[in-house]
Amino acid sequence: MPNVEHPAVVAYDGSAEARAAIEAAVSLFGRRPLIVVSVWEPGLAQAMAPLRDPTGMGYTATTPAESAAIDELQREHAVGAAEEGVRLARDLGATAEGLSVADAADIAETLAAIADEYDAGAVVVGSRGLGKVKSSLFGSTSRELLRRTNRPVLVVRAPE
């Protein structure tokens, strides 16, 4: 019988892969409570905006007000996603609580820190299945999570 004192941390962003991760966590961990985590990335708008090039043909960086507005939209989306994930988990019969959090460095590090904070029995993430090229360009949260935590990590693919 699994130790129900140690919850499972489940990453949730509203995608089909994240829904599959919730479903798998509920199915596999039964009575274990779930911490449904949605991570948002503050400052992403500023980091992603290319700076104006000397010819004046490029894009300008966002203003501080625009960046703050985008950060707030991302935060609101993360709160809504966590709530949606909790509803899904509860509809499937699980005990669940939601947590929306700004990442400190990257999503994998944030999930690993949350797993440590809650003394999680496992971390569950959906796999985007980006493939070798895209994964090397954009990184792989699941791969990085395996490097950052000693806790069991379950990577779930969405049904096709």
Q: What confidence tens digit (pLDDT) does each residue in 88-141 have?
A: 999 999 999 999 999 877 899 999 999 999 999 999 999 875 444 444 434 588
Confidence of residue 1 (pLDDT cuts 50, 70, 90): very low
The mean per-residue pLDDT over the stretch 47-69 comes to: 63
pLDDT reading at 36 higher than 80: yes
Q: What percent of the chain stands above pLDDT 90? A: 57
Structure tokens at 33: 């409570």
In sequence order, which residues have a C-beta less than 8 Å from that of residue 112 and are 6 or more positions away? 123, 145, 148, 149, 151
On whether the pTM is more than 0.75, the answer is: yes
Would you say domain 8-157 falls under CATH 3.40.50.620? Answer: yes
pLDDT reading at 14 higher than 80: yes
Question: Residue for token digits 């509803």?
Answer: 87
In sequence order, which residues have a C-beta less than 8 Å from that of residue 86 and are 6 or more positions away? 36, 96, 97, 98
